[in-house]
Amino acid sequence: MSQFEDLNRLLAQGIISRREFMGRATALGATAALSSTILSSPSFAAMPKQGGHFKIGMGQGSTTDSLDPATTLHTGTQIVNHAVYNYLTEVSNTGDLVGELAASWEASPDAKVWNMKLQKGVTFHNGKSFGPEDVIASINHHRGKDSKSAAKPIVDPITDISADGTDGVKFTLSGGNADFPFLMSDYHLAILPSKDGKIDATGGIGSGAFVLEKFDPGVKITMKRNPNYWKSGKGHFDSAEILVIADVAARTNALTTGATMAMDRCDLKTVHLLKRNKSITVTKNTGTQHYTLPMNAGRAPFDDVHVRLALKYAINREALVKTVLRGYGAVGNDHPIGASQLYFNKDLEQRIYDPDKAKFHLKKAGMSSLDVTLSSSDAAFAGAVDTAVLYKEHAAKAGINITVNRVPADGYWSNVWMKDPWSMSYWGGRPTEDWMFSQAYAAGAEWNESFWNNERFNKLLLEARAELDSAKRREMYGEMQKLVRDDGASVIPMFASYVGALAKNVGHDKMGANWDMDGLRCMERWWLV
């Protein structure tokens, strides 16, 4: 274990490269997935223990936060959702899909109709017993013309939901989707108790491991254990509180002085100092979160695939991971599928920094030099502006002149992203390939940030979605990753890890990498030793 730690320190300090790290880690007998989580396992094998008061400091959180799952925006409220509410399905800590309120499910052969059998004997915090009507009302909260839900594009393909007996729900979709149960684990789609076919979206009543006591948005959220929780082996704290501590130095101080027991979003610039503290463990999870630089494929010069390739060869990914992420991440290969995902294409060659190849593609595009403007703001991700400036230096060697246009973080998503020809963005990632591709790469998708339209890709996407044979899907998703990598209009230089810190007395199993904070389920999964 200590050898890994040494390796990781060398990596963080830039003494060895990422590639070397992976090589040496493999030599030590670690798989890629293991070496990314190896550091975070002090209480790995310990048995969960009941009791205690858990305090966590979260970086995101605002007075304007709401309990309405339709507008859940950031990790601060996402973990509240997963503590207070349950979902139909859950992505487990090993990345598999398991049932939560849905006990089991089966699809029609064309994957258009889904029958879900619901858990029996579940009661909400207000005493109402859980039934199909709650599922229908909760999902309908996000559907329909008047929906303001951020999850609307996810539930839009549902044409009908109906009860199937007293413990079943039938979903009818407009097109086949083999990943439909995965979609139901989305953090917006919480199941709340219904009353007359409607849910009280801001009432804070769910069936989760914790009963909400006080919701003081932007300050503190307190909850106590649900004594009637239906899941066994989950929800260990007697009570818990989430403190919103926006300032990273204050958040770190709170953890080091024992005022909190966990924090998210460590300051990567100082995390090596935090690691020296013997009573604290720094956790790192590299999953699906990645940073993108989407070009508008419909506008010159980005409509030429050679220009896009030139730009992709002109970025030094290793250097960015080393400097911007301080080693807490992995290089990207210009497609959005993470190495931990089921259908990740292992045979695809990693694209590296190659100014000569960039020049070659520029020549193919009929240019000797290229002037482009990249709009950048730290609203896209922490370190976005630094990334843009470094990229400018890398690209200059290939005869590409990037002008970095620094824009305000305020209103970035509404005024710059998908408006300027070339901007920066991030994706928390989605648990399935189909989900990621359909939201951000399918032609006509609301968030197709690069306005990319590839006929073959779009055809494969529809076919793979309705395909239930796993081997065939692997082949199709493999080809799609290649298409996005070689023809797509997004430069995807890196996958960023979630870096948090825990006091030594916080116990946990292997952490989920699908989202931050143990797949957002830290409240019900962690315990105090």
Partner 1 sequence: MALGLIVLFVVSLIIFLGVELLPGDLAQAMLGQQATEETLAAFRKELRLDLPMHTRYLEWLFNILHGDFGRSLANGREISELIGVRLGNTLFLALFSALIAVPLSLTLGILAAMYRNSFFDRAVNILTLSSISFPEFFIAYILIFVFSIKLGWMPSLSNVSTETPIGERLFVSLMPALTLTLVVVAHMMRMTRAAIINLLASSYIEMANLKGLSRARVILRHALPNAWAPIINVIVINLAYLIVGVVIVEVVFVYPGLGQLIVDSVQKRDIPVVQACSLIFAATYIMLNLTADILSIITNPRLLHPK
Question: Given the rule CB under 8 A, which of 127-135, 250-258, 317-325, 460-468 is the region that contacts partner 1?
Answer: 250-258
Taking each helix axis as running N to C, give the angle between helix 2-12 and helix 18-27, from 0 to 180 degrees, rounded to the nearest 10: 170
DSSP for 54-122, please give it.
Answer: EEEEES---TT--S-GGG--SHHHHHHHHHH-B-SEEE-TTS-EEESSEEEEEE-TTS-EEEEEEPSS-
* Interface map 150-189 toward partner 1 (x if CB under 8 A): x-xx------------------------------------
Pick from 4, 447, 462, 474 the residue near partner 1 by CB under 8 A: 447
Contact between 203 and partner 1 per CB under 8 A:
no
Which region, judged by CB under 8 A, interacts with partner 1, from 42-50, 241-249, 342-350, 478-486? Answer: 241-249
Q: Inter-axis angle of helices 433-440 and 455-466, to 10 degrees?
A: 140
Residue 251 C-beta: closest distance to partner 1, Å: 9
Which of the ranges 98-106, 266-274, 301-309, 411-419 carries the binding residues for partner 1, by CB under 8 A? 411-419
Write out the two tokens for 504.
Answer: 């030594």
Report, in Å, the least distance between residue 132 CB and partner 1.
26
242 forms beta bridges with 56, 221
Task: From 28-36, 141-149, 459-467, 506-514, give the range in contact with partner 1 by CB under 8 A.
Answer: 141-149
Terminal C-alpha separation, the chain: 21
Q: Is the dihedral of CA 336, 340, 341, 345 positive or negative?
A: positive
**Contact call for residue 217 and partner 1 (CB under 8 A):** yes
Residue at token pair 């922490």: 382
Query: What does the alpha-carbon distance between residue 264 and residue 227 come to, in Å, rounded to a whole number?
Result: 28
Distance in Å, CB of 349 to partner 1, minimum: 30
Is 64 a binding residue for partner 1 by CB under 8 A? The answer is yes
The yes or no reply on residue 266 touching partner 1 (CB under 8 A) is: no
78-117 mask for partner 1 (x: CB under 8 A)? ----------------------------------------
- Bridging pattern class, strands 280-285 and 290-294: unpaired
Cα dihedral 216, 220, 226, 232, rounded to 10, equals 130
Stretch that binds partner 1, among 112-120, 124-132, 237-245, 262-270 (CB under 8 A): 237-245
Tell me which residues touch partner 1 (CB under 8 A).
62-68, 71, 73, 145-150, 152-153, 202, 216-220, 243-247, 249-250, 253-254, 256-257, 259-260, 410-411, 413-415, 417, 425, 446-447
